[in-house]
Amino acid sequence: MSLKKHLGRLLLTDIRDRDIADYITTRRAEKAADKTIRNELGTLRGILKKHRLWTRLRDDVVLPRGRHDEDIGVALSDDEEARLLTACAGSRSRSLLPAVTLALSTGMRLSEIRLLRWRQIDFVNEAVKVGRSKTEHGAGRAVPLNQRALSALRQWGQQFPERKPAHFVFPSEKVGFSGNDEIPQVFDTDPTKPITSWKKAWTTARTAAGTQCRFHDLRHTTVTRLLERGQPFAVVAAIMGWSAGTSVRMAKRYGHIGPSAQRQAMATLDAPKRNAIQDNAAPVVPSSSLIQ
């Protein structure tokens, strides 16, 4: 463990802010990500708090920023999305295209999609109920399915005519090649186990598409487009499964979204004030229409 390696020689009472600063410098030199360093120091902080030693250090310690502070993600352009979907369609992983389409259409996290079961999809009410999620607020939320998501799921479901509610939507399976044309062949499909990962197929597809976006950026793209198209932030927060605290942070992160919509909203203040008396007055009926 890195903490033991670099700070194990010190007693807890001997640890000073300069030791923590040196630890950060050393771990960065070892190519550790700031998020990793922050998590490691979080463990140290917990230990020091338990022994009531953190208070004397906290004002002098500057922790590395987590990824959510320094990286707000990338929203795909329409052209980038089209190239990415084309690359996914040509992937040796037949489940990559429906998975990416679902991610773009719902904003669901990678783990939420990977562990999805058919019983969670309600084709009648056009919604998907998220199962286990990264956060407590994300678990169990219902996400409406638009027509693109429904179409992708229905087409994908045709591959499994004997599927059962408990089966995974994206099952574990292997892919091989046959013939001189190296046509992909799927075998050893096990619907009782979820696919392990799309990592290799995803990396190949995004490289072919000429984009370096992460899978999580598909979720960022969904949020960005919803806000740019004028959807209320509270509605987006509910769909994404954000807690109150996360919503506050996301409001700051996405505060730059939708300047045109914001401008249109403010422009309504330029409109002449309507006369309330006129609004409530009975409509004037043309004399030609009066009953004689």
Tens-place pLDDT, residues 143-165: 999 999 999 999 999 999 999 99
Mean pLDDT of the chain: 84
Tell me the per-residue pLDDT of 203-259, one tens digit each, with 9 for 90 and over. Answer: 999 999 999 889 999 999 999 999 888 888 899 999 999 988 888 888 877 876 756
pLDDT recorded at residue 230: 83
Q: How far apart are CA 121 and CA 168, in angstroms?
A: 11
**Residue 188 main-chain phi, psi, to 5 deg:** 55, 40
| Beta strands 183-194 and 171-178, pairing class | antiparallel
Inter-residue contact 161 to 129 (CB < 8 Å):
no
pLDDT recorded at residue 136: 77
pLDDT recorded at residue 277: 46
pLDDT recorded at residue 284: 46
In the numeric block, which tokens belong to residue 123?
A: 């084709």
Task: Using the CB atoms, write b or e for 47-59: b if 16+ within 10 Å.
Answer: ebeeeeebeebee
Cα-Cα-Cα-Cα dihedral sign, residues 46, 50, 51, 57? positive
Beta-carbon contacts of 21 under 8 Å, excluding residues fewer than 6 positions away, are: 61, 62
Q: State pTM to two decimals.
A: 0.66
How many C-alpha atoms does 72 have within 13 Å on its Cβ side? 12
pLDDT recorded at residue 164: 96
What residue has token string 């999580």? 216
Tell me the per-residue pLDDT of 167-217, one tens digit each, with 9 for 90 and over. Answer: 999 999 987 776 565 667 777 889 999 999 999 999 999 999 999 889 999
pLDDT recorded at residue 290: 33
Q: Roughly how many angstroms between the first and final C-alpha of the chain, as a whole number?
A: 96
Share of the chain above pLDDT 70, in %: 84
Q: How far apart are CA 106 and CA 138, in angstroms?
A: 13
Tell me the per-residue pLDDT of 128-147, one tens digit each, with 9 for 90 and over. Answer: 999 877 777 778 899 999 99
All domains of the chain in start order, with CATH: 2-70 (no CATH), 78-217 (1.10.443.10)
How many C-alpha atoms does 117 have within 13 Å on its Cβ side? 11
